[in-house]
Chain A
Protein backbone atom coordinates (compact mmCIF):
# COMPACT_ATOMS: atom_id res chain seq x y z
CA UNK A 1 0.00 0.00 0.00
CA UNK A 2 1.47 3.34 -0.99
CA UNK A 3 1.81 6.05 1.63
CA UNK A 4 -0.45 8.21 -0.48
CA UNK A 5 -3.30 5.87 0.39
CA UNK A 6 -2.18 5.51 3.99
CA UNK A 7 -2.92 9.16 4.69
CA UNK A 8 -6.25 8.97 2.94
CA UNK A 9 -7.08 6.02 5.12
CA UNK A 10 -6.13 8.04 8.18
CA UNK A 11 -8.49 10.76 7.05
CA UNK A 12 -11.25 8.29 6.25
CA UNK A 13 -13.10 8.11 9.60
CA UNK A 14 -13.40 11.88 9.78
CA UNK A 15 -14.45 12.15 6.15
CA UNK A 16 -17.01 9.40 6.62
CA UNK A 17 -18.38 11.07 9.74
CA UNK A 18 -18.82 14.40 8.00
CA UNK A 19 -20.30 12.76 4.91
CA UNK A 20 -22.93 10.87 6.85
CA UNK A 21 -23.82 13.41 9.46
CA UNK A 22 -23.29 16.62 7.54
CA UNK A 23 -23.85 15.88 3.85
CA UNK A 24 -26.57 13.27 4.28
CA UNK A 25 -28.39 15.33 6.88
CA UNK A 26 -28.31 18.27 4.52
CA UNK A 27 -29.68 16.07 1.78
CA UNK A 28 -32.42 15.05 4.20
CA UNK A 29 -33.47 18.70 4.42
CA UNK A 30 -33.67 18.87 0.62
CA UNK A 31 -35.59 15.59 0.40
CA UNK A 32 -38.06 16.62 3.07
CA UNK A 33 -38.51 20.10 1.60
CA UNK A 34 -39.15 18.56 -1.80
CA UNK A 35 -41.17 15.69 -0.36
CA UNK A 36 -44.62 15.37 1.10
CA UNK A 37 -46.28 14.51 4.38
CA UNK A 38 -48.40 11.58 5.45
CA UNK A 39 -51.74 11.57 7.22
CA UNK A 40 -49.99 11.90 10.59
CA UNK A 41 -48.54 15.21 9.35
CA UNK A 42 -45.14 13.55 9.45
CA UNK A 43 -42.68 14.38 6.65
CA UNK A 44 -42.12 11.82 3.91
CA UNK A 45 -38.79 12.62 2.23
CA UNK A 46 -38.44 11.94 -1.48
CA UNK A 47 -34.88 10.71 -1.86
CA UNK A 48 -34.95 10.31 -5.60
CA UNK A 49 -34.57 13.69 -7.33
CA UNK A 50 -36.88 12.42 -10.08
CA UNK A 51 -39.72 12.27 -7.54
CA UNK A 52 -39.15 15.72 -6.12
CA UNK A 53 -42.32 17.60 -5.37
CA UNK A 54 -42.09 21.35 -5.57
CA UNK A 55 -45.54 21.96 -4.13
CA UNK A 56 -44.47 23.06 -0.65
CA UNK A 57 -41.55 25.06 -1.98
CA UNK A 58 -43.93 26.69 -4.45
CA UNK A 59 -46.42 27.68 -1.78
CA UNK A 60 -43.69 29.23 0.38
CA UNK A 61 -42.24 31.09 -2.61
CA UNK A 62 -45.66 32.35 -3.65
CA UNK A 63 -46.25 33.45 -0.06
CA UNK A 64 -43.05 35.48 -0.26
CA UNK A 65 -43.90 36.79 -3.73
CA UNK A 66 -47.34 37.93 -2.61
CA UNK A 67 -45.97 39.66 0.47
CA UNK A 68 -47.11 37.03 2.98
CA UNK A 69 -45.79 36.41 6.44
CA UNK A 70 -42.53 34.84 5.26
CA UNK A 71 -41.60 38.00 3.41
CA UNK A 72 -42.44 40.03 6.52
CA UNK A 73 -40.13 38.01 8.76
CA UNK A 74 -37.44 37.79 6.14
CA UNK A 75 -37.38 41.55 5.64
CA UNK A 76 -37.39 42.04 9.41
CA UNK A 77 -34.55 39.56 9.82
CA UNK A 78 -32.45 41.34 7.19
CA UNK A 79 -33.18 44.69 8.84
CA UNK A 80 -32.27 43.45 12.32
CA UNK A 81 -29.09 41.80 11.08
CA UNK A 82 -28.06 44.87 9.07
CA UNK A 83 -28.66 47.21 11.99
CA UNK A 84 -26.92 44.94 14.46
CA UNK A 85 -23.99 44.53 12.07
CA UNK A 86 -23.68 48.27 11.50
CA UNK A 87 -23.71 48.98 15.20
CA UNK A 88 -21.26 46.17 15.87
CA UNK A 89 -18.85 47.62 13.32
CA UNK A 90 -19.21 51.11 14.79
CA UNK A 91 -18.36 49.81 18.23
CA UNK A 92 -16.05 46.99 17.25
CA UNK A 93 -13.73 48.68 14.77
CA UNK A 94 -12.37 51.36 17.11
CA UNK A 95 -11.93 48.78 19.85
CA UNK A 96 -10.09 46.37 17.57
CA UNK A 97 -8.04 49.27 16.22
CA UNK A 98 -7.00 50.34 19.69
CA UNK A 99 -6.18 46.80 20.75
CA UNK A 100 -4.06 46.19 17.66
CA UNK A 101 -2.21 49.50 17.44
CA UNK A 102 -2.31 51.49 20.65
CA UNK A 103 -2.83 49.14 23.56
CA UNK A 104 0.91 48.99 24.30
CA UNK A 105 1.70 47.26 27.56
CA UNK A 106 -2.00 46.73 28.24
CA UNK A 107 -2.34 44.62 25.14
CA UNK A 108 -2.47 41.29 26.95
CA UNK A 109 -5.14 42.48 29.32
CA UNK A 110 -7.20 44.10 26.55
CA UNK A 111 -7.00 40.90 24.49
CA UNK A 112 -8.16 38.90 27.49
CA UNK A 113 -11.12 41.24 27.81
CA UNK A 114 -11.95 40.76 24.14
CA UNK A 115 -11.68 36.97 24.27
CA UNK A 116 -13.44 36.40 27.57
CA UNK A 117 -17.03 36.78 26.27
CA UNK A 118 -16.35 33.90 23.87
CA UNK A 119 -16.20 31.47 26.68
CA UNK A 120 -19.23 32.71 28.52
CA UNK A 121 -22.35 30.85 27.51
CA UNK A 122 -24.39 32.95 25.09
CA UNK A 123 -27.56 32.20 27.00
CA UNK A 124 -25.98 33.20 30.26
CA UNK A 125 -25.03 36.53 28.73
CA UNK A 126 -28.65 36.96 27.65
CA UNK A 127 -29.88 35.89 31.09
CA UNK A 128 -27.64 38.58 32.59
CA UNK A 129 -29.36 41.25 30.52
CA UNK A 130 -32.82 39.88 31.25
CA UNK A 131 -32.09 40.33 34.93
CA UNK A 132 -30.67 43.81 34.43
CA UNK A 133 -33.45 45.05 32.17
CA UNK A 134 -36.44 43.81 34.15
CA UNK A 135 -38.66 46.61 35.42
CA UNK A 136 -36.80 46.90 38.75
CA UNK A 137 -33.41 45.77 37.44
CA UNK A 138 -30.17 47.64 37.94
CA UNK A 139 -29.69 48.18 34.23
CA UNK A 140 -33.12 49.76 33.85
CA UNK A 141 -32.31 52.13 36.70
CA UNK A 142 -28.91 53.08 35.28
CA UNK A 143 -30.40 53.69 31.83
CA UNK A 144 -33.03 55.87 33.45
CA UNK A 145 -30.55 57.83 35.56
CA UNK A 146 -28.20 58.41 32.64
CA UNK A 147 -31.08 59.78 30.57
CA UNK A 148 -30.64 57.10 27.93
CA UNK A 149 -34.15 55.86 28.58
CA UNK A 150 -35.50 59.34 27.83
CA UNK A 151 -33.60 59.47 24.54
CA UNK A 152 -34.99 56.08 23.51
CA UNK A 153 -38.50 57.15 24.48
CA UNK A 154 -38.19 60.37 22.50
CA UNK A 155 -36.91 58.51 19.45
CA UNK A 156 -39.77 56.04 19.67
CA UNK A 157 -37.36 53.16 20.22
CA UNK A 158 -38.96 52.36 23.56
CA UNK A 159 -42.70 52.39 24.12
CA UNK A 160 -42.91 52.88 27.87
CA UNK A 161 -40.67 53.73 30.80
CA UNK A 162 -38.77 50.69 32.00
CA UNK A 163 -40.35 48.56 29.30
CA UNK A 164 -37.11 47.26 27.78
CA UNK A 165 -38.34 43.67 27.82
CA UNK A 166 -41.88 44.45 26.67
CA UNK A 167 -41.20 43.37 23.13
CA UNK A 168 -38.99 46.16 21.74
CA UNK A 169 -37.22 45.81 18.40
CA UNK A 170 -34.48 48.08 19.73
CA UNK A 171 -33.80 45.70 22.62
CA UNK A 172 -33.57 42.76 20.24
CA UNK A 173 -31.10 44.58 17.98
CA UNK A 174 -28.97 45.63 20.95
CA UNK A 175 -29.08 42.10 22.33
CA UNK A 176 -27.88 40.79 18.98
CA UNK A 177 -25.03 43.30 19.04
CA UNK A 178 -24.11 42.27 22.55
CA UNK A 179 -24.32 38.59 21.72
CA UNK A 180 -22.30 38.52 18.53
CA UNK A 181 -19.87 41.45 18.66
CA UNK A 182 -16.98 39.38 20.08
CA UNK A 183 -17.06 37.28 16.91
CA UNK A 184 -16.58 40.46 14.88
CA UNK A 185 -13.86 42.10 16.94
CA UNK A 186 -11.36 39.26 16.88
CA UNK A 187 -11.07 38.88 13.08
CA UNK A 188 -10.93 42.68 12.88
CA UNK A 189 -8.15 42.68 15.44
CA UNK A 190 -6.28 39.99 13.52
CA UNK A 191 -6.55 41.94 10.26
CA UNK A 192 -5.48 45.24 11.83
CA UNK A 193 -2.62 43.56 13.67
CA UNK A 194 -1.29 42.17 10.41
CA UNK A 195 -0.94 45.58 8.78
CA UNK A 196 2.68 46.60 8.47
CA UNK A 197 3.28 49.75 10.52
CA UNK A 198 5.81 50.96 7.97
CA UNK A 199 3.15 51.39 5.33
CA UNK A 200 1.32 53.87 7.53
CA UNK A 201 4.55 55.62 8.46
CA UNK A 202 5.35 55.94 4.78
CA UNK A 203 2.00 57.57 4.14
CA UNK A 204 2.57 59.99 7.01
CA UNK A 205 6.09 60.77 5.74
CA UNK A 206 4.59 61.61 2.39
CA UNK A 207 2.50 64.25 4.08
CA UNK A 208 -0.77 62.44 4.63
CA UNK A 209 -2.72 63.63 7.65
CA UNK A 210 -3.45 61.14 10.38
CA UNK A 211 -7.01 60.85 9.10
CA UNK A 212 -6.17 60.47 5.44
CA UNK A 213 -3.47 57.90 6.27
CA UNK A 214 -6.16 55.93 8.06
CA UNK A 215 -8.63 56.35 5.24
CA UNK A 216 -6.21 55.55 2.43
CA UNK A 217 -4.01 52.91 4.02
CA UNK A 218 -5.33 51.33 7.19
CA UNK A 219 -8.99 51.08 6.24
CA UNK A 220 -8.47 49.47 2.81
CA UNK A 221 -5.96 47.03 4.29
CA UNK A 222 -8.43 45.99 6.97
CA UNK A 223 -11.27 45.29 4.54
CA UNK A 224 -10.66 41.53 4.47
CA UNK A 225 -10.99 41.49 8.24
CA UNK A 226 -14.20 43.53 8.09
CA UNK A 227 -15.66 41.14 5.54
CA UNK A 228 -14.63 37.99 7.35
CA UNK A 229 -16.01 39.37 10.60
CA UNK A 230 -19.22 40.44 8.91
CA UNK A 231 -19.82 36.97 7.51
CA UNK A 232 -18.86 35.31 10.79
CA UNK A 233 -21.45 37.42 12.61
CA UNK A 234 -24.15 37.58 9.96
CA UNK A 235 -24.42 33.82 9.49
CA UNK A 236 -25.38 32.93 13.06
CA UNK A 237 -27.55 36.07 13.36
CA UNK A 238 -29.62 34.96 10.39
CA UNK A 239 -30.29 31.66 12.14
CA UNK A 240 -31.02 33.14 15.54
CA UNK A 241 -34.38 32.52 17.19
CA UNK A 242 -33.52 32.43 20.88
CA UNK A 243 -32.45 36.06 21.25
CA UNK A 244 -35.81 37.60 20.23
CA UNK A 245 -37.56 34.88 22.16
CA UNK A 246 -35.65 35.65 25.35
CA UNK A 247 -35.58 39.44 25.36
CA UNK A 248 -38.95 40.08 23.72
CA UNK A 249 -41.25 37.08 23.06
CA UNK A 250 -43.48 39.42 21.08
CA UNK A 251 -44.60 38.48 17.59
CA UNK A 252 -43.45 41.87 16.33
CA UNK A 253 -39.81 40.91 16.79
CA UNK A 254 -39.84 37.36 15.46
CA UNK A 255 -37.16 36.50 12.92
CA UNK A 256 -36.96 33.85 10.22
CA UNK A 257 -35.36 31.49 12.75
CA UNK A 258 -38.46 31.72 14.93
CA UNK A 259 -40.63 30.59 12.02
CA UNK A 260 -38.30 27.69 11.26
CA UNK A 261 -38.20 26.71 14.91
CA UNK A 262 -41.97 26.88 15.13
CA UNK A 263 -42.50 24.66 12.09
CA UNK A 264 -39.80 22.09 12.74
CA UNK A 265 -39.33 21.73 16.48
CA UNK A 266 -42.62 22.86 17.95
CA UNK A 267 -45.16 22.55 15.19
CA UNK A 268 -46.65 19.75 13.23
CA UNK A 269 -45.50 20.81 9.82
CA UNK A 270 -41.90 19.86 9.31
CA UNK A 271 -42.11 20.07 5.52
CA UNK A 272 -42.68 23.83 5.46
CA UNK A 273 -39.96 24.15 8.10
CA UNK A 274 -37.57 22.26 5.86
CA UNK A 275 -38.48 24.52 2.92
CA UNK A 276 -37.71 27.63 4.98
CA UNK A 277 -34.46 26.07 6.22
CA UNK A 278 -33.47 25.24 2.65
CA UNK A 279 -34.22 28.75 1.44
CA UNK A 280 -32.27 30.30 4.31
CA UNK A 281 -29.35 27.97 3.66
CA UNK A 282 -29.33 28.86 -0.05
CA UNK A 283 -29.33 32.57 0.68
CA UNK A 284 -26.47 32.12 3.13
CA UNK A 285 -24.56 29.77 0.87
CA UNK A 286 -23.40 32.75 -1.16
CA UNK A 287 -22.11 34.40 1.98
CA UNK A 288 -20.46 31.16 3.07
CA UNK A 289 -18.61 30.68 -0.18
CA UNK A 290 -17.37 34.22 0.00
CA UNK A 291 -16.10 33.61 3.50
CA UNK A 292 -14.44 30.33 2.60
CA UNK A 293 -12.68 32.02 -0.29
CA UNK A 294 -11.38 34.84 1.88
CA UNK A 295 -10.19 32.47 4.61
CA UNK A 296 -8.52 30.20 2.11
CA UNK A 297 -6.74 33.14 0.56
CA UNK A 298 -5.74 34.40 3.99
CA UNK A 299 -4.63 30.86 4.89
CA UNK A 300 -2.49 30.71 1.75
CA UNK A 301 -0.91 34.06 2.62
CA UNK A 302 -0.23 32.91 6.15
CA UNK A 303 1.39 29.74 4.88
CA UNK A 304 3.80 31.65 2.63
Chain B
Protein backbone atom coordinates (compact mmCIF):
# COMPACT_ATOMS: atom_id res chain seq x y z
CA UNK B 1 0.00 0.00 0.00
CA UNK B 2 2.71 2.40 -0.98
CA UNK B 3 0.26 5.00 -2.24
CA UNK B 4 -1.17 5.37 1.26
CA UNK B 5 2.14 6.74 2.40
CA UNK B 6 2.21 9.08 -0.53
CA UNK B 7 -1.41 10.15 -0.95
CA UNK B 8 -0.64 12.67 -3.71
CA UNK B 9 1.41 10.22 -5.70
CA UNK B 10 0.49 8.77 -9.02
CA UNK B 11 -1.87 5.94 -8.09
CA UNK B 12 -4.40 8.17 -6.39
CA UNK B 13 -4.53 10.52 -9.36
CA UNK B 14 -4.70 7.49 -11.63
CA UNK B 15 -7.52 6.05 -9.58
CA UNK B 16 -9.45 9.28 -9.85
CA UNK B 17 -8.88 9.34 -13.60
CA UNK B 18 -10.11 5.78 -13.91
CA UNK B 19 -13.25 6.53 -11.94
CA UNK B 20 -13.89 9.65 -14.01
CA UNK B 21 -13.29 7.70 -17.21
CA UNK B 22 -15.77 5.00 -16.28
CA UNK B 23 -18.33 7.60 -15.26
CA UNK B 24 -17.78 9.42 -18.53
CA UNK B 25 -18.16 6.26 -20.55
CA UNK B 26 -21.24 4.90 -18.83
CA UNK B 27 -23.25 7.88 -17.58
CA UNK B 28 -24.45 9.21 -20.97
CA UNK B 29 -25.84 5.80 -21.81
CA UNK B 30 -27.46 5.54 -18.39
CA UNK B 31 -29.13 8.88 -18.98
CA UNK B 32 -30.28 7.77 -22.43
CA UNK B 33 -31.83 4.71 -20.79
CA UNK B 34 -33.45 6.93 -18.18
CA UNK B 35 -35.09 9.01 -20.90
CA UNK B 36 -36.59 5.88 -22.40
CA UNK B 37 -38.87 6.10 -19.36
CA UNK B 38 -39.71 9.76 -19.85
CA UNK B 39 -43.36 10.62 -19.56
CA UNK B 40 -43.26 13.07 -22.47
CA UNK B 41 -41.78 13.30 -25.92
CA UNK B 42 -38.65 15.21 -24.91
CA UNK B 43 -35.29 13.49 -24.78
CA UNK B 44 -33.73 16.38 -22.94
CA UNK B 45 -36.23 17.48 -20.28
CA UNK B 46 -37.42 15.05 -17.65
CA UNK B 47 -41.23 14.94 -17.53
CA UNK B 48 -41.87 12.12 -15.07
CA UNK B 49 -41.58 8.35 -15.10
CA UNK B 50 -43.59 6.22 -17.49
CA UNK B 51 -43.53 3.01 -19.47
CA UNK B 52 -45.43 4.63 -22.31
CA UNK B 53 -42.57 4.40 -24.84
CA UNK B 54 -42.38 0.66 -24.22
CA UNK B 55 -46.00 -0.35 -23.92
CA UNK B 56 -48.12 2.72 -24.73
CA UNK B 57 -50.70 2.45 -27.45
CA UNK B 58 -49.13 5.02 -29.81
CA UNK B 59 -45.59 4.94 -31.15
CA UNK B 60 -44.18 2.62 -28.49
CA UNK B 61 -41.74 -0.23 -28.97
CA UNK B 62 -44.46 -2.84 -28.60
CA UNK B 63 -47.04 -1.10 -30.75
CA UNK B 64 -45.29 0.93 -33.43
CA UNK B 65 -45.00 -1.33 -36.49
CA UNK B 66 -41.72 0.25 -37.64
CA UNK B 67 -40.02 -0.20 -34.26
CA UNK B 68 -41.41 -3.67 -33.83
CA UNK B 69 -40.42 -4.66 -37.33
CA UNK B 70 -36.87 -3.44 -36.72
CA UNK B 71 -36.61 -5.34 -33.45
CA UNK B 72 -37.94 -8.55 -34.98
CA UNK B 73 -35.66 -8.28 -37.99
CA UNK B 74 -32.64 -7.62 -35.75
CA UNK B 75 -33.37 -10.73 -33.69
CA UNK B 76 -34.07 -12.81 -36.78
CA UNK B 77 -30.73 -11.85 -38.33
CA UNK B 78 -28.92 -12.53 -35.06
CA UNK B 79 -30.50 -15.97 -34.70
CA UNK B 80 -29.68 -17.07 -38.25
CA UNK B 81 -26.20 -15.59 -37.98
CA UNK B 82 -25.49 -17.63 -34.82
CA UNK B 83 -26.92 -20.76 -36.41
CA UNK B 84 -24.57 -20.42 -39.39
CA UNK B 85 -21.44 -18.80 -37.97
CA UNK B 86 -21.05 -21.10 -34.95
CA UNK B 87 -20.82 -24.47 -36.76
CA UNK B 88 -18.77 -22.95 -39.58
CA UNK B 89 -16.41 -21.31 -37.11
CA UNK B 90 -16.05 -24.37 -34.88
CA UNK B 91 -15.21 -26.64 -37.78
CA UNK B 92 -12.80 -24.10 -39.22
CA UNK B 93 -11.11 -23.78 -35.82
CA UNK B 94 -10.79 -27.56 -35.46
CA UNK B 95 -9.51 -27.92 -38.99
CA UNK B 96 -7.00 -25.11 -38.60
CA UNK B 97 -5.75 -26.35 -35.24
CA UNK B 98 -5.07 -29.83 -36.56
CA UNK B 99 -3.97 -28.68 -40.01
CA UNK B 100 -0.68 -30.32 -40.91
CA UNK B 101 1.47 -29.11 -43.75
CA UNK B 102 1.19 -26.28 -46.17
CA UNK B 103 -1.74 -23.90 -46.53
CA UNK B 104 -2.47 -23.55 -42.83
CA UNK B 105 -0.71 -20.22 -42.51
CA UNK B 106 -2.49 -18.76 -45.51
CA UNK B 107 -5.88 -19.87 -44.27
CA UNK B 108 -5.06 -18.49 -40.85
CA UNK B 109 -4.23 -15.09 -42.33
CA UNK B 110 -7.38 -15.18 -44.43
CA UNK B 111 -9.37 -15.96 -41.30
CA UNK B 112 -7.85 -13.02 -39.41
CA UNK B 113 -8.47 -10.48 -42.16
CA UNK B 114 -12.15 -9.83 -41.50
CA UNK B 115 -11.20 -8.87 -37.94
CA UNK B 116 -9.07 -5.98 -39.15
CA UNK B 117 -10.92 -4.81 -42.23
CA UNK B 118 -12.79 -1.54 -41.69
CA UNK B 119 -16.47 -2.16 -41.92
CA UNK B 120 -17.01 0.29 -44.74
CA UNK B 121 -14.54 -1.58 -46.93
CA UNK B 122 -16.35 -4.81 -46.20
CA UNK B 123 -19.71 -3.14 -46.72
CA UNK B 124 -18.77 -1.79 -50.13
CA UNK B 125 -17.16 -5.08 -51.13
CA UNK B 126 -20.20 -7.13 -50.20
CA UNK B 127 -22.53 -4.58 -51.78
CA UNK B 128 -20.71 -4.88 -55.11
CA UNK B 129 -20.59 -8.66 -54.70
CA UNK B 130 -24.35 -8.93 -54.39
CA UNK B 131 -25.02 -6.35 -57.08
CA UNK B 132 -22.59 -7.71 -59.62
CA UNK B 133 -21.59 -11.30 -58.83
CA UNK B 134 -24.69 -12.73 -57.17
CA UNK B 135 -27.53 -10.59 -58.50
CA UNK B 136 -29.73 -13.62 -57.87
CA UNK B 137 -29.28 -13.17 -54.13
CA UNK B 138 -29.49 -9.40 -54.38
CA UNK B 139 -29.76 -7.15 -51.38
CA UNK B 140 -31.96 -7.97 -48.43
CA UNK B 141 -32.16 -10.45 -45.58
CA UNK B 142 -30.05 -13.17 -47.24
CA UNK B 143 -27.29 -10.72 -48.07
CA UNK B 144 -27.38 -9.28 -44.56
CA UNK B 145 -27.04 -12.75 -43.03
CA UNK B 146 -24.14 -13.61 -45.30
CA UNK B 147 -22.41 -10.32 -44.52
CA UNK B 148 -22.78 -10.77 -40.78
CA UNK B 149 -21.60 -14.38 -40.85
CA UNK B 150 -18.54 -13.33 -42.84
CA UNK B 151 -17.28 -10.98 -40.18
CA UNK B 152 -18.43 -12.88 -37.08
CA UNK B 153 -16.96 -16.19 -38.27
CA UNK B 154 -13.44 -15.10 -37.33
CA UNK B 155 -14.46 -14.29 -33.76
CA UNK B 156 -15.79 -17.82 -33.34
CA UNK B 157 -12.59 -19.32 -34.76
CA UNK B 158 -10.34 -17.26 -32.49
CA UNK B 159 -12.30 -18.16 -29.35
CA UNK B 160 -12.64 -21.85 -30.09
CA UNK B 161 -8.97 -22.14 -31.00
CA UNK B 162 -7.97 -20.54 -27.72
CA UNK B 163 -9.94 -23.23 -25.89
CA UNK B 164 -8.44 -25.95 -28.07
CA UNK B 165 -4.98 -24.77 -27.12
CA UNK B 166 -5.83 -24.77 -23.43
CA UNK B 167 -7.34 -28.27 -23.34
CA UNK B 168 -4.50 -29.81 -25.35
CA UNK B 169 -4.65 -33.23 -27.00
CA UNK B 170 -4.44 -35.51 -23.93
CA UNK B 171 -8.15 -36.27 -23.65
CA UNK B 172 -8.42 -37.20 -27.29
CA UNK B 173 -5.34 -39.39 -27.08
CA UNK B 174 -6.67 -41.06 -23.95
CA UNK B 175 -9.92 -41.77 -25.75
CA UNK B 176 -7.98 -43.14 -28.70
CA UNK B 177 -5.95 -45.38 -26.35
CA UNK B 178 -9.19 -46.72 -24.94
CA UNK B 179 -10.17 -47.70 -28.46
CA UNK B 180 -12.68 -44.98 -29.28
CA UNK B 181 -13.14 -44.52 -33.04
CA UNK B 182 -12.24 -41.07 -34.44
CA UNK B 183 -15.90 -40.11 -34.69
CA UNK B 184 -16.45 -40.74 -31.01
CA UNK B 185 -13.26 -38.90 -30.16
CA UNK B 186 -14.72 -35.88 -31.86
CA UNK B 187 -18.34 -36.04 -30.78
CA UNK B 188 -18.04 -37.60 -27.32
CA UNK B 189 -14.77 -36.12 -26.11
CA UNK B 190 -13.67 -33.03 -27.97
CA UNK B 191 -16.98 -31.27 -28.60
CA UNK B 192 -18.20 -31.56 -24.98
CA UNK B 193 -14.88 -30.15 -23.85
CA UNK B 194 -15.31 -27.32 -26.32
CA UNK B 195 -18.88 -26.63 -25.26
CA UNK B 196 -18.11 -23.59 -23.10
CA UNK B 197 -16.14 -21.91 -25.88
CA UNK B 198 -18.87 -22.73 -28.38
CA UNK B 199 -21.54 -21.25 -26.15
CA UNK B 200 -19.46 -18.17 -25.46
CA UNK B 201 -18.73 -17.62 -29.14
CA UNK B 202 -22.38 -18.10 -30.04
CA UNK B 203 -23.31 -15.44 -27.51
CA UNK B 204 -20.71 -13.07 -28.83
CA UNK B 205 -21.82 -13.67 -32.41
CA UNK B 206 -25.35 -12.88 -31.30
CA UNK B 207 -24.24 -9.65 -29.66
CA UNK B 208 -22.08 -8.61 -32.61
CA UNK B 209 -24.95 -9.21 -34.98
CA UNK B 210 -27.37 -7.14 -32.92
CA UNK B 211 -24.91 -4.26 -32.69
CA UNK B 212 -23.75 -4.33 -36.29
CA UNK B 213 -24.56 -1.31 -38.36
CA UNK B 214 -22.42 -0.71 -41.44
CA UNK B 215 -22.52 -4.12 -43.15
CA UNK B 216 -26.19 -4.56 -42.30
CA UNK B 217 -27.03 -1.13 -43.68
CA UNK B 218 -25.08 -1.63 -46.90
CA UNK B 219 -26.82 -4.91 -47.60
CA UNK B 220 -30.33 -3.83 -46.67
CA UNK B 221 -32.93 -3.41 -49.35
CA UNK B 222 -36.09 -1.93 -47.96
CA UNK B 223 -38.00 -0.99 -44.84
CA UNK B 224 -38.57 -4.64 -43.93
CA UNK B 225 -34.81 -5.17 -43.65
CA UNK B 226 -34.25 -2.28 -41.25
CA UNK B 227 -32.56 -3.21 -37.97
CA UNK B 228 -32.47 -1.41 -34.65
CA UNK B 229 -29.02 0.01 -35.40
CA UNK B 230 -30.17 1.36 -38.75
CA UNK B 231 -33.21 2.88 -37.10
CA UNK B 232 -30.99 4.57 -34.50
CA UNK B 233 -28.85 6.02 -37.27
CA UNK B 234 -31.66 7.29 -39.46
CA UNK B 235 -33.77 8.66 -36.62
CA UNK B 236 -31.06 10.18 -34.46
CA UNK B 237 -30.41 12.78 -37.16
CA UNK B 238 -33.97 14.06 -36.98
CA UNK B 239 -35.93 14.65 -33.82
CA UNK B 240 -36.95 11.23 -32.58
CA UNK B 241 -39.14 10.45 -29.58
CA UNK B 242 -37.92 8.58 -26.49
CA UNK B 243 -39.27 5.46 -28.20
CA UNK B 244 -35.89 5.39 -29.93
CA UNK B 245 -34.18 5.31 -26.54
CA UNK B 246 -36.62 2.61 -25.52
CA UNK B 247 -35.86 0.34 -28.46
CA UNK B 248 -32.13 0.86 -27.96
CA UNK B 249 -32.62 -0.09 -24.31
CA UNK B 250 -34.47 -3.27 -25.26
CA UNK B 251 -31.69 -4.23 -27.69
CA UNK B 252 -29.09 -3.51 -25.01
CA UNK B 253 -30.91 -5.64 -22.45
CA UNK B 254 -31.11 -8.54 -24.89
CA UNK B 255 -27.39 -8.24 -25.63
CA UNK B 256 -26.38 -8.06 -21.98
CA UNK B 257 -28.70 -10.88 -20.95
CA UNK B 258 -27.25 -13.12 -23.65
CA UNK B 259 -23.71 -12.34 -22.62
CA UNK B 260 -24.43 -12.78 -18.93
CA UNK B 261 -26.06 -16.14 -19.58
CA UNK B 262 -23.14 -17.28 -21.70
CA UNK B 263 -20.73 -16.08 -19.04
CA UNK B 264 -22.51 -18.07 -16.34
CA UNK B 265 -22.63 -21.17 -18.47
CA UNK B 266 -18.99 -20.78 -19.33
CA UNK B 267 -17.99 -20.39 -15.72
CA UNK B 268 -19.91 -23.50 -14.78
CA UNK B 269 -18.19 -25.53 -17.43
CA UNK B 270 -14.73 -24.10 -17.46
CA UNK B 271 -14.03 -22.75 -14.01
CA UNK B 272 -13.17 -19.22 -12.97
CA UNK B 273 -9.78 -18.76 -14.53
CA UNK B 274 -10.86 -19.37 -18.06
CA UNK B 275 -13.76 -17.01 -17.63
CA UNK B 276 -11.31 -14.14 -17.35
CA UNK B 277 -9.66 -15.45 -20.46
CA UNK B 278 -12.98 -15.16 -22.21
CA UNK B 279 -13.43 -11.65 -20.95
CA UNK B 280 -10.05 -10.78 -22.41
CA UNK B 281 -10.88 -12.57 -25.64
CA UNK B 282 -14.02 -10.56 -26.07
CA UNK B 283 -11.64 -7.87 -27.12
Instruction: Verify whether A and B have any Cβ pair under 8 Å.
Output: yes
Give 18 A-B contacts (CB < 8 Å), ordered by A residue.
Answer: A4-B101, A21-B146, A29-B128, A115-B282, A117-B26, A120-B29, A122-B211, A122-B213, A123-B229, A127-B236, A186-B280, A190-B283, A232-B116, A235-B117, A242-B233, A260-B124, A274-B124, A281-B118
Cα-based distance from A244 to B150 in the complex (angstroms): 27
- Among A11, A12, A238, A245, max chain B CB count under 10 A is at A11
Instruction: Mark out the residues of chain A between 124 and 138 whose CB falls within 8 Å of any chain B CB in the assembled complex.
Output: 124-132, 134, 136-138
Shortest distance from the beta carbon of B24 to any chain A beta carbon, whole Å: 8
Interface 9-residue window, one of A50-58, A59-67, A96-104, A148-156:
A96-104
Shortest distance from the beta carbon of A5 to any chain B beta carbon, whole Å: 10
B28/A121 in contact, CB under 8 A: no
Interface membership of A43, Cβ < 8 A? yes
Number of B interface residues in the complex (CB < 8 A):
91
B22/A114 in contact, CB under 8 A: yes
Closest-by-CB residue of A relative to B84 is A17
A22/B127 in contact, CB under 8 A: no
Interface membership of B197, Cβ < 8 A? no
Shortest distance from the beta carbon of B157 to any chain A beta carbon, whole Å: 7
Interface 9-residue window, one of B50-58, B61-69, B75-83, B105-113:
B105-113
- Among B118, B131, B207, max chain A CB count under 10 A is at B118
Number of A interface residues in the complex (CB < 8 A):
99
- Give every chain A residue within 8 A of B31 (Cβ-Cβ): 128, 131-132, 138
Shortest distance from the beta carbon of B222 to any chain A beta carbon, whole Å: 14
- Cβ contact of A110, chosen from B18, B122, B283, cutoff 8 A: B18
- Total contacts A to B, CB within 8 angstroms? 268
Cα-based distance from A22 to B150 in the complex (angstroms): 7
B237/A246 in contact, CB under 8 A: yes
B14/A97 in contact, CB under 8 A: yes
Interface membership of B40, Cβ < 8 A? no
B118/A124 in contact, CB under 8 A: no
- Give every chain A residue within 8 A of B44 (Cβ-Cβ): 131, 134, 136-138
Interface membership of A79, Cβ < 8 A? no
The A interface is mostly helix, strand or loop, or mixed, namely helix
Interface membership of A74, Cβ < 8 A? no
B28/A125 in contact, CB under 8 A: yes
Given contacts A119-B256, A121-B251, A284-B118, whether A25 and B213 have CB atoms under 8 Å apart is: no
Closest-by-CB residue of B relative to A4 is B100
> Using an 8 Å CB-CB cutoff, how does the interface string of A225-269 with B read, 1 for contact, 0 for none?
000000110011011111001100100000001001100110000
Closest-by-CB residue of B relative to A291 is B116
- Give every chain B residue within 8 A of A146 (Cβ-Cβ): none
Closest-by-CB residue of B relative to A117 is B25
Closest-by-CB residue of B relative to A287 is B116
- Cβ contact of A288, chosen from B95, B110, B116, B256, cutoff 8 A: B116
